[in-house]
Amino acid sequence: MAMRWLRRTHLAMLAFVTLLVLVPSVIPAAFASALAPVERTDRPAMHAVMRDLCHRDVAVLGEATHADGHTEAFKVALVERLVTQCGFRAVVFEGSLYEFLGFNRARRDGRATEAMVGNAIGGLWKFEAEIKPLTHFLYTEAMAGRITLGGMDDQLGGFEQPFANETMAALLTQGFPVDRRTACVEAFHRRTYLAFDDDHPNSPDFKNRIDACAMDMRSALSKQNLAEGETAERIQMLDGIDRQLARDRLSSEDYAKDRDRAMYYAFARFSANLPKRTRIIVWTHSFHAAKSPAIRPDLNGAPTFGTLLHQAYGSRAFALAFSARGGSYRWSREENRPVPAPPPDALELASPGDHQTAYLNSATLRARGIAPAAPDYHTYRAARWADIYDGLVVFAEEHPPHSSRVYPAP
């Protein structure tokens, strides 16, 4: 009797979630934005992913490359549904920490625009037709106070990021003597735009000078009588700058390892400032999403962002990766490349139909043990994927995103 009741309850819950996923009109009235559509062949996978993610505290959404259009469209639809139907109230991007701080400052002052959200998301995504519905959705919901947006990348020099590239240095040099302010703003401009040449090399002397500017910024802040929230935001900027300048002195291998630690640090600070029990979506690359350093043997055990996240959250966090059996992806401005054909026994061959999108949940991944798969840059290798991801979406075909970016003539 009890088992029959449990089965009926479970089926009713599944039917309700299916209705929410497949019928965009069935959403809470507070959310005015229309939801991005889900392709027919993606719908069963979307339903299964929603069932796995809806009750988590942190949903980490990876992607094999930053140039996979089908993945982007699926993630956009998924983010919107996690917000409107599952109660997620914060979205963090592998985008500029500083530009998102700038957007949130402008939002509080009534100056924010939708373009600012795109700038903060960054040039890797903002030009894609697949992403534009999400930019509008996030802007609308953030302006209504229903979600909080943030970035976790402290790197300097993002494309078309006016707050990070121009405003921030001027803000942080307030209180400097005029000549010192001019010199430090110029140094940060040179580092931001990598404007180095024979007369202005990226030398140890330059690094010492810009480090001294960062120290002076922190000293100047300590002498200003600012509101507590304003001081805290500027400290976030300075902490990010310090991490970036320290990485500038590392090898490329150590730079990459430190960047994952820095992203987790930024995420942890962002989440600590949210109301308790706020549920968070993270948009990133599948490499960073991986919950184990086994994603790449050359890491030599160095933790990824996802490793650190899962150490803190355990099963309350979920790492989702994406792959494809065929199609193509954007490799460069001029070139698209084919997705490699799956080798025998690859996870990508687990297909519900010729053109259907497959979803391999944690139990399926664990049952497969060690198998070939290509969720990281579409490069096949064998691994125990259940130790690396909690779920894997496999499209029948990937395609490059549809970009509106115009590049200058060579």
**Residue-wise pLDDT tens for the chain (410 aa)?**
443 443 444 444 444 444 444 444 344 444 545 899 999 999 999 999 999 999 999 999 999 999 999 999 999 999 999 999 999 999 999 999 999 999 999 999 999 999 999 999 997 888 888 999 999 999 999 999 999 999 999 999 999 999 999 999 999 999 999 999 999 999 999 999 999 999 999 999 999 999 999 999 999 999 999 999 999 999 999 999 999 999 999 999 999 999 999 999 999 999 999 999 999 999 999 999 999 999 988 878 899 999 999 999 999 999 999 999 999 998 988 899 999 999 999 999 987 777 899 999 999 999 999 999 999 999 999 999 999 999 999 999 999 998 877 677 66
| Alpha-carbon gap, residue 303 to 282, rounded angstroms | 17
Which one, of 388, 390, 324, lies nearest residue 363 by Cα?
A: 390
Look at the block and give the residue holding tokens 């996923």.
21
At residue 409, the pLDDT reads 66
The CA distance from 405 to 277, in Å, is 38
**Hey, which residues does 336 pair with through a beta bridge?**
330
Look at residue 410 in the predicted model and tell me its pLDDT.
67
For 356, which DSSP code?
P
Alpha helices, H only, 273-396? 286-289, 305-313, 362-368
Contact by Cβ (8 Å): 390, 51: no
End-to-end Cα distance, the chain: 74
Q: Which amino acid makes up residue 188?
A: F
> Torsion over CA of 50, 51, 54 and 58, rounded to 10 degrees?
-80
Q: What is the DSSP string of 239-281?
A: HHHHHHHHHTTS-HHHHHHHHHHHHHHHHHHHHHTSPTT--EE
Whole-number pLDDT of residue 334? 83
pLDDT on residue 92: 99
- Output the pLDDT for position 129: 86
pLDDT at 2: 41
Q: Which of 309, 323, 370 is nearest to 345 (CA)?
A: 370
Residue 100 in tokens: 């998102």
Unique residue bearing structure tokens 């480090």: 211
Residue 221 CB contacts under 8 Å (≥ 6 apart), including other chains = 172, 231, 234, 235, 238
3-state SS assignment for residue 403: strand
Q: Is-contact 117 133, C-beta < 8 A?
A: no
Q: What is the pLDDT of residue 220?
A: 97
Total-model pTM: 0.90
What is the β-pairing status of strands 358-360 and 391-395? antiparallel
SS3 content of the chain, % helix, strand, coil (to 5): 50, 15, 35
Phi, psi dihedrals of residue 382, rounded to the nearest 5°: -90, 140
DSSP for residue 164: I
| Rounded Cα–Cα distance for residues 223 and 360 (Å) | 55
Torsion angle of the four alpha carbons 214, 217, 222, 226, in this order, in degrees rounded to the nearest 10: -130
Supply the pLDDT for residue 372. 98
Instruction: Say which DSSP state 391 is in.
Output: E
The neighbour count for residue 246, using CB atoms within 10 Å, is 15
